[in-house]
Structure 1
Amino acid sequence: MKIFYAIQATGNGHISRAVQLYPYLQKFGEVDFFLSGNNASLDINLPIKFKSEGCSLHYSKCGGLDYWDIAKNIKPRQIYKDADALPLKNYDVVINDFDSITSLACKLQKVHSIQFGHQASFISSKTPRPEKKSIMGEMILKHYAPSPKNIGLHFDKYDDFIYPPIIKDEIINAEPKNAGHITVYLPSFQKDCLENAFNKLPNLKFHWFLNDIKTKHTIKNVTYFPVNQQYFNKSLINCEGIITGGGFETPAEALYLGKKILSIPIRKHYEQECNAAALKKLGIPVLYDVDDNFDLIIENWLDSPIKYPTMKANNIKETLEVLFDTYYD
């Protein structure tokens, strides 16, 4: 069996999931990957056969999306060309992790596909949303990368086609400890947006992962790290808690490890607002804006007696069996 797997590289979570899935997928057949977008900063140890700039995200300075930058970097003619060039008819199965080019290619070439991943869960109206829904956000979630069939991943089983998160082997096999530091991963925030707040808490140590950091170094109470999977896994496994965005994979792994979480969803990012709504239902504190009191909020968060839910890891073998059965059903 030949398998085409499309990865949306607007962040690192899609890539981490694909890396974890790859050895399991190989048991079903030969796998070729398509990487679409250029936001990811992780090393990609996968057989990437096809690439496209696709549609990438651009951030404002302190915590939001810059829609003007996103729009001006979209190249419709190139997207159509890339979609038309993908040789999807050479594959027995097309798996799409929320990539619009692959979805367009399937439509142009009249090829069947299945959407697999976190975004697929939003096909269900039962999946949590914020109190104020976004019409545009809902349209993007449902029509950006449509497939006739869907297998979703989320924090909880909100619908019958939704399964637990894919947790990396390094996390599943870890023995979590509390070394007393706070792990920080907020890719939409630049360094000078938060540095002062962290420095106001000299008794706390922060491990801060930033895209523009090239080498690990420490200034005052903050150790700055490049975005590196090995460094990040170690920091997360041994942290007291993590301050992160409203993504999916990182909060899921933190919950699996039993870590404290403070979620700051990216502003104007509807999927992250939906994830934040789901986290709030689980009792996880969510912060929608960062101001001059951020240091006090961090202290209160660490001191709060929050009971965090237990997160179950996905049984990858069983989920993939369901995926392939669903594909051919």
Structure 2
Amino acid sequence: MKILYGVQGTGNGHIARARAMSHTLKKRGVEVDFLFSGREQNKYFSMEDFGRYQTRRGLTFVTHNGEVSYLRTGLKNNLVSFMKEVIELDLSGYDLVLNDFEPVSAWAAKKQGKPSISISHQNAFRYSVPLKGASWMDKQIIRYFAPAQYHIGLHWYHFGQPILPPIVHTPQHFAEEHDFVLVYLPFEALDDISDLLLRFSSQHFVCYHPDIIEQQAIENILLLPLSFEGFQSHLHRCAGVIANGGFELPSEALTLGKKLLLKPLAGQFEQLSNVATLEDLGMATCMEGLEASVVREWLDEEQAECVSYPDVAEAIVDWVLKGDWENQAELTTGLWDKVDFPSYVTNI
């Protein structure tokens, strides 16, 4: 079997999930090529796991000052260019297209009649899971942005729906925990983040941000450019994580037992829903803006406990290779029984 794996490149969470799937696919001897879209080619980093991957412009959402800007999104995207990429993507050499919310490969597979399987957190919102701030347009985007024949949704809890636990890839860094807090707020202005963190002079912060070119220290803040290996090392050693409301980073933090303070991207229903869900489950603290009072209270909170998730990537690859894609029941059966939540987790 030869697979093309299309990955949404606007967020590092999609790439982290693809990295976990890549390791498992390679371990099984599956030939797989990767295609990424939604980010400028020179903005990808730590991509060695994906071999000679392809990139496309695709479609993307643009943020400004911590929220989605629909005006900038409309100006950034070019539908004519997108359709040209779809038409020109030749899938004749592939048996299957796997997809993580990547529209070029998804629409090319639909157009060319290639079997396609979508694996994403976005697919969980096709089912009856907690939603916050989802408009009619948001629901249409979930359904039609990256269409596929088969859909696998991922979430932190099943909510009685046929979805799977997160795909988590956290390479082991056997290091002692330190008292610094890891900060990753890529959609917020760096000056605003610094102004917030400088208020807590006795607390050390390590902050990764796409606007940082070279490492620098400003009083109690260590500012670092994006790096997969460096970030993973700090994630394993930190005392807690302050982040936006994506899916993959909170999933990794939960498995490592790191307490979470999350600020959702305004106007982005997925992040609003994610943060509300984790707060309702008792697994994270929420702040609507960069609020010093919330940070102060969160810093005094006790450490979290680990959430134990099974090897979901391995289960999905087994199912893909078996070829009975109409039958997804065996995927969900048993996986959730292997999840171990901390005793303080509520509403489950």
TM-score (norm 2): 0.86
Count of residue pairs the alignment pairs up: 321
Q: Distance in 1 between matches of 2:249 and 2:34?
A: 23
Give the drift of 1:304. Answer: 3.0
Q: 1:309 to 1:137 in 2, by over 3 A?
A: farther
Contact 2:124 2:155 in 1 (8 A): yes
Q: Percent identity?
A: 30
Q: Distance in 1 between matches of 2:72 and 2:250?
A: 27
Q: Which runs of 5+ in 2 are unaligned?
A: 328-348
Contact 1:155 1:311 in 2 (8 A): no
Instruction: Say whether 1:145 aligns with 2:146.
Output: yes
Deviations 1:274-329 (A, max 9, x none): 21122122212111223xxx222211012134765624143422221123434376
Q: Which amino acid aligns with 2:16?
A: S
Give the drift of 1:47. Answer: 2.7
Q: Secondary structure in 2 aligned to 1:194?
A: helix
Q: 1:211 to 1:313 in 2, by over 3 A?
A: farther
Which residue in the other structure is 2:221 paired with?
Answer: 222
Q: Which runs of 5+ in 1 are unaligned?
A: none
Q: Secondary structure in 2 aligned to 1:162?
A: coil
Q: 1:243 to 1:122 in 2, by over 3 A?
A: same
Deviations 1:87-119 (A, max 9, x none): 223211110111122222122212221101212
Which residue in the other structure is 2:230 paired with?
Answer: 231
1:194-209 superposed matches below 5 A? 194-209=193-208
1:36-185 superposed matches below 5 A? 36-38=37-39, 41-45=44-48, 46-61=50-65, 63-125=66-128, 127-130=129-132, 132-158=133-159, 161-170=162-171, 173-175=172-174, 177-185=176-184
Contact 1:282 1:309 in 2 (8 A): no
Contact 2:182 2:207 in 1 (8 A): yes
Instruction: Say whether 1:20 aligns with 2:20.
Output: yes
Give the drift of 1:123. Answer: 1.6
Q: 1:239 to 1:210 in 2, by over 3 A?
A: same
Q: Distance in 1 between matches of 2:2 and 2:139?
A: 33
Contact 2:6 2:106 in 1 (8 A): no
Contact 1:182 1:206 in 2 (8 A): yes
Q: Distance in 2 between matches of 1:96 and 1:259?
A: 29
Deviations 1:197-250 (A, max 9, x none): 211111000101111212222110000010111111111111111100000110
Q: Secondary structure in 2 aligned to 1:268?
A: coil
Q: 1:49 to 1:195 in 2, by over 3 A?
A: closer
Q: 1:326 to 1:187 in 2, by over 3 A?
A: farther
Q: Secondary structure in 1 aligned to 2:22?
A: helix
Contact 2:95 2:115 in 1 (8 A): no
Contact 1:12 1:42 in 2 (8 A): no
Q: 1:121 to 1:158 in 2, by over 3 A?
A: same
Q: Which amino acid aligns with 1:208?
A: C
Q: 1:323 aligns with which of 314, 320, 323?
A: 320
Which residue in the other structure is 2:301 paired with?
Answer: 304
Q: Distance in 2 between matches of 1:25 and 1:159?
A: 29
Which residue in the other structure is 1:246 paired with?
Answer: 245
Q: 1:23 to 1:197 in 2, by over 3 A?
A: closer
Provide runs of 4+ in structure 1 moved above 4 Å.
305-309
Contact 2:190 2:211 in 1 (8 A): no
Contact 1:263 1:276 in 2 (8 A): yes
Q: Which moved more, 1:159-168 or 1:279-288?
A: 159-168
Q: 1:55 to 1:188 in 2, by over 3 A?
A: same
Deviations 1:125-144 (A, max 9, x none): 2x2212x4322212211221
Q: Distance in 2 between matches of 1:275 and 1:222?
A: 27
Give the drift of 1:168. Answer: 1.6
Q: 1:320 to 1:247 in 2, by over 3 A?
A: same
Q: Which amino acid aligns with 1:89?
A: S
Q: Distance in 1 between matches of 2:195 and 2:176?
A: 27
Contact 2:258 2:304 in 1 (8 A): no
Q: Distance in 2 between matches of 1:250 and 1:326?
A: 31
1:235-314 superposed matches below 5 A? 235-283=234-282, 284-290=284-290, 294-305=291-302, 310-314=307-311
